[in-house]
Structure 1
Amino acid sequence: MTENQDRARDDGPSFERLGLRPELLGALAALGYEEPTPIQEEAIPPLAEGRDLLGQAATGTGKTAAFALPVLQRLTAHRAERAPVALILVPTRELAVQVSEALHRYGRELGARVLPVYGGAPIGRQLRSLESGVDVVVATPGRALDLVQRGSLQLGDVATVVLDEADEMLDMGFAEDLEAILDETPETRQTVLFSATMPRRLDALARRHLRDPVRITIAREKAPAGEAPRVRQTAYVVPRAAKPAALGRILDIEAPAAAIVFCRTREEVDSLTETLNGRGYRAEALHGGMSQEQRDRVMARLRGGTADLLVATDVAARGLDIEQLTHVVNYDVPSAPESYVHRIGRVGRAGREGVAITLAEPREHRMLKTIERVAGAPISVQTVPTVADLRARRLDLTRAALRESLLGDDLARFRVVVETLADEFDLMEVALAAVKLAHEAGGGADDEEDIPQVTFRADSGRRPEARGSARGDGPRARRSSGGPAARLFVGAGREAGIRPGDLVGAITGETGLTGRDIGAIEIHQRFALVEVPENAADEVIRALKSTMIKGRKATIRRDNARTP
């Protein structure tokens, strides 16, 4: 062992202390990684020994390397066999690509053959790669199960299965797909499960498939005492109708380098994107109704700096890792605290500071308090910036631009203009006119739009009246805000493995409805019936027609028999 390695053992954590093979240490050194994160330090040794592991860790804690390095540690270098020895399941295609790229970087000297497998990409190319032979498959559950059923993805030699962001996969309705895939792998496999949250059903999945697992919980790193947290969390109380104007004003004040604005539905994404672009922002939409080619173009514009706002649904944005991201905006208060945790986990990473902003309506005080408790950090409630605030901010930007120009050395060619004007006007007046022109050229026109200053309602802490569930609680439960309900026909039933939770998840994931808004659900052999608020029925039909339920398209229409 070298003197440097001895010193590393004495001075603190290092990758050498984790017993990683020389090829991996060389790759990490070339990438500039000097010491492991807490989750890497705790997870890598037991995983390298073949232990099962259940890890709870937020996005940005370094968990990809925590499972990728042990997978490569146990891999035979330059192996010739065709069947994979490791399977990593992730919720989205974007995350599949990111994990695959990390494995390629770490395992280059080992000759690791890594294949990302996901929907939206030509399946022929993936089939040819599997036929040629791979070591590690990184896949979304739907495409992985498709390839297993085709007989193209052979899992008999798999020694390690990793479920990354397992809670997200369950939220997306992949529970049965995960069970079917795990059933195809050897019982002797090593099983690794990572998740940002640990809901009850995920714990049940872990108990069924993990054997005596090592349990690790890594919280997001807290700022030292006396320092501000890395993610500044703020909420603005805004009436629904004023949200577009309020968002524009907040973005002007914050001036993010890049931001994701989360919306509940595809329609809201498209509408808000159009509004923001009309106000002069460079915004791009991202939702489940877009093709992979369209999604790739959007991400290229964002990463290339030709766009600085991404307006997206939760489903579309899962797995995205945008290095220059500084702000996350919740255009609506998330219906589930876990969604909020996932969203804000995208900023404040790798030591960088981030900002999380939520636009809350006056009635949403209780929801915000619940989120604050689950997130474990205070959310500062503020009023929307006023026109005076915006003017002051824009003047600050003008002042900064002028100061930067004054510190430069290219002003001499303008001296003759100033000297000529000084013969006719006072120098202060000349300066004021120049500042006015610079201010207006920089987009400094005043925004006079009136945005009401509101606060949370005094009664917003009351428990909301129940308005229905997936089981249906009688006629009263079938109404949202006292209105009528519509019954929808879904052309898939028990034969396709459809369960009430699948329909509830599909509807709430693609529309602005919550589980309480959904009434009775009937699952028949080849079809299902579900009750939704009449005023949201058309939106639900449009959303479900362009999404997958249990991995398949289904006919969606109004049922002929209307509810009373």
Structure 2
Amino acid sequence: MENDPFESVAGFAALGLRAELLRALTSLGYEEPTPIQQEAIPPLVAGHDLVGQAATGTGKTAAFALPVLQSLTAGRRDAGPGALVLVPTRELAEQVSQAVHRYGRELGVRVLPVYGGQPIGRQLQALARGVDVVVGTPGRVLDHIERATLKLGDVRTVVLDEADEMLDMGFAEDIEAILAETPESRQTVLFSATMPPRIDGIARRHLRDPVRITMGRKGVEPGELPLVRQSAYIVARAHKTAALGRILDVEAPTSAIVFCRTREEVDQVTETLNGRGYRAEALHGGMSQDQRDRVMGRLRAGTTELLVATDVAARGLDVEQLTHVINFNVPAAPEAYVHRIGRVGRAGREGSAITLAEPREQRMLKAIERLTGQRITLEKLPTVTDLRARRLELTRTALQASLETDDLERFRVVLDSLTDEFDVENIALAAVKLLHEAAGGDVEEEEIPSPAPSAGDRREPRQGGGRRDRPSDSSVARLFFGIGRRAGLRPQDLVGAIAGESGLSARDIGAIQITDRFSLVEVPEPAADMVIAAMQRSTIRGRRPTVRRERFVR
């Protein structure tokens, strides 16, 4: 008797998925649905709207992609898409598009990712031929709508993935405008790692009696370690790079992501870590998509230990074997912290989330604790003595592994030739010394001083008001954009474009001034050249404006 081809995905079969999707899941090695897939797929297949709170790594892409594919008519060749998925970044657009393509291979589904930084001609040709599912960033989707190259009249399902990230990047009005172009009878699905009031507002306005599901991390049995160990070190800014190297030496991560704020910071930290002997790679908005893909391939293959990245460049990236997430700075938004630590502690493995905080940033740690309901343990920075002890422990471990597994007999002739003149114990100690020195030897570093107590964060952004606060951590550069009010430009267009294309956090963008013909935007001075380079390759409201430093002091 032949084996049932669907036996390996029996849990998915019970959710009422069509045979073509079950065969695709079998070929991809899926076995049982994750909790969010178990909860979300049945109501979505039944046609209900849904609000899901779920972090990265819970399987939410399949949770909405499979019902979307289930609803598509086999062999449909309508010009307009049947489903639209909105995501915050180009990386996530590519990732979701690839997943939908894999799941819907037998259905012949035509999937198109649309985002800025990609030649628009290719997108126009694909849209003209007809697509079934569009996965895109709000800015580029709205651009196509305004060009009349994307018509959403046939859309049956709209998915807002990582909705909180999209709002943080300034896409709220774009999302509203896009939803207004879709039929009122559509099914609407919203996924978000956090549920601030703004997300509830969108759900109330655009979803009809939605099913609500919340997926946290797997509970921990009494006495077990948490899946994510959260800790922080208080370090003065001048000593943060040295502190990072020392923490990595002690933690010895198998695979880690270090999050930085700007491209310049990413490059500086990467260079320092490589100089310390680590295999570190940079990932930021100043790199081409091919460069990013090569970096991620080396990380997944294990030839790179550390990925040093900006938030935007790393969004949507899913690396299964990560053991550590390290915040070189405290994230400006507590929600960003939730997204970052969602990348570790998966599949029952313990992960570590480590944050380097300046003294004035301790109140930001408290805000994160309030959001997550979990304590972040303040740790004491490892001393030089701690580091020396750790390196000696690594030497002992290497020796133990050699004694247990290696063929040592061929070295006996060396030992025999030395025992006539030296004591065996001294020979062993000399061999240990040589191994220890070859692995880096004793630490010749100065102690990192403890930071002075903070008198409070006097530069904390003001609350309320219509004007965006200036970036507070460095001098400010004012950039000129050759596009203004006459092109329909809004502040959120600039914030979304800069954050989406350059890797700069939306919260690091300062005051914005829009005139009829041009606009001025304040950004941190260290990030100015990176923003200019990124924006010169991008479009805003369908145009590619001149972007440069302001030439005159006002």
Partner of 1:495: 486
Aligned counterparts of 1:514 and 1:159: Cα–Cα separation in 2: 32
SS of 2:329's partner is coil
Aligned counterparts of 1:154 and 1:539: Cα–Cα separation in 2: 37
Alignment RMSD (CA, Å): 3.4
Does residue 523 of the first structure (1) align with residue 514 of the second (2)?
Answer: yes
Do the aligned residues in 2 keep the contact of 1:341 with 1:375 (CA within 8 Å)? yes
Partner of 1:233: 230
String of CA shifts for 1:524-545, please: whole Å, max 9, x gaps: 333345677xxx5575476356
Do the aligned residues in 1 keep the contact of 2:169 with 2:506 (CA within 8 Å)? no
Do the aligned residues in 1 keep the contact of 2:479 with 2:528 (CA within 8 Å)? no
Offset at 1:504? 6.3
Partner of 2:320: 323
Aligned counterparts of 1:501 and 1:36: Cα–Cα separation in 2: 38
* One-letter code aligned to 2:374: A
* One-letter code aligned to 2:466: R
Partner of 1:543: 531
Aligned counterparts of 2:110 and 2:388: Cα–Cα separation in 1: 56
* One-letter code aligned to 1:107: G
Which residues of structure 2 form unaligned runs of 5+?
none
Does residue 75 of the first structure (1) align with residue 72 of the second (2)?
Answer: yes
Alignment of 1:249-328 (within 5 A): 249-328=246-325
Identity of aligned residues (%): 67
Q: 1:179 to 1:556 in 2, by over 3 A?
A: farther
Quick one: which of 416, 419, 431 aligns to 1:419?
A: 416
Do the aligned residues in 2 keep the contact of 1:489 with 1:527 (CA within 8 Å)? yes
Alignment of 1:500-515 (within 5 A): 500=491
Does residue 115 of the first structure (1) align with residue 112 of the second (2)?
Answer: yes
Alignment of 1:433-448 (within 5 A): 433-448=430-445
* One-letter code aligned to 1:315: V
Does residue 58 of the first structure (1) align with residue 55 of the second (2)?
Answer: yes
Alignment of 1:73-472 (within 5 A): 73-454=70-451, 457=454, 459-460=455-456, 471-472=466-467
40-49 or 16-25: bigger deviation = 16-25
Q: 1:82 to 1:243 in 2, by over 3 A?
A: same
Aligned counterparts of 1:121 and 1:541: Cα–Cα separation in 2: 21
Aligned counterparts of 1:484 and 1:306: Cα–Cα separation in 2: 37
Offset at 1:453? 3.1
Does residue 558 of the first structure (1) align with residue 550 of the second (2)?
Answer: yes
Aligned counterparts of 2:508 and 2:100: Cα–Cα separation in 1: 42
Do the aligned residues in 1 keep the contact of 2:494 with 2:540 (CA within 8 Å)? no
Do the aligned residues in 2 keep the contact of 1:264 with 1:332 (CA within 8 Å)? yes
Q: 1:207 to 1:513 in 2, by over 3 A?
A: closer
Aligned counterparts of 1:517 and 1:306: Cα–Cα separation in 2: 35
Offset at 1:338? 0.7
364-373 or 284-293: bigger deviation = 284-293
Q: TM-score, normalised by structure 1?
A: 0.86
Do the aligned residues in 1 keep the contact of 2:310 with 2:504 (CA within 8 Å)? no
SS of 2:449's partner is coil
141-150 or 99-108: bigger deviation = 141-150
Partner of 1:36: 33
Do the aligned residues in 2 keep the contact of 1:96 with 1:139 (CA within 8 Å)? yes
501-510 or 247-256: bigger deviation = 501-510
550-559 or 60-69: bigger deviation = 550-559
Q: 1:467 to 1:15 in 2, by over 3 A?
A: closer
Offset at 1:364? 1.8
Q: TM-score, normalised by structure 2?
A: 0.88
Aligned counterparts of 1:496 and 1:151: Cα–Cα separation in 2: 17
What is the count of residue pairs matched by the alignment?
547
Aligned counterparts of 2:553 and 2:307: Cα–Cα separation in 1: 41
The structure showing larger relative contact order (alpha-carbon pairs under 8 Å, at least 6 residues apart) is 2
Do the aligned residues in 1 keep the contact of 2:479 with 2:550 (CA within 8 Å)? yes
Quick one: which of 11, 14, 18 aligns to 2:11?
A: 14
Which residues of structure 1 form unaligned runs of 5+?
none
Q: 1:554 to 1:201 in 2, by over 3 A?
A: farther
483-492 or 139-148: bigger deviation = 483-492
* One-letter code aligned to 2:550: R
Do the aligned residues in 2 keep the contact of 1:469 with 1:516 (CA within 8 Å)? no
Offset at 1:75? 2.1
Aligned counterparts of 2:179 and 2:414: Cα–Cα separation in 1: 76
Aligned counterparts of 1:76 and 1:508: Cα–Cα separation in 2: 37
Q: 1:478 to 1:45 in 2, by over 3 A?
A: closer
Q: 1:25 to 1:486 in 2, by over 3 A?
A: closer
* One-letter code aligned to 1:264: R
128-137 or 90-99: bigger deviation = 128-137
Aligned counterparts of 1:134 and 1:176: Cα–Cα separation in 2: 25
Do the aligned residues in 1 keep the contact of 2:229 with 2:352 (CA within 8 Å)? yes
SS of 1:34's partner is coil
Offset at 1:371? 0.9
* One-letter code aligned to 1:492: I
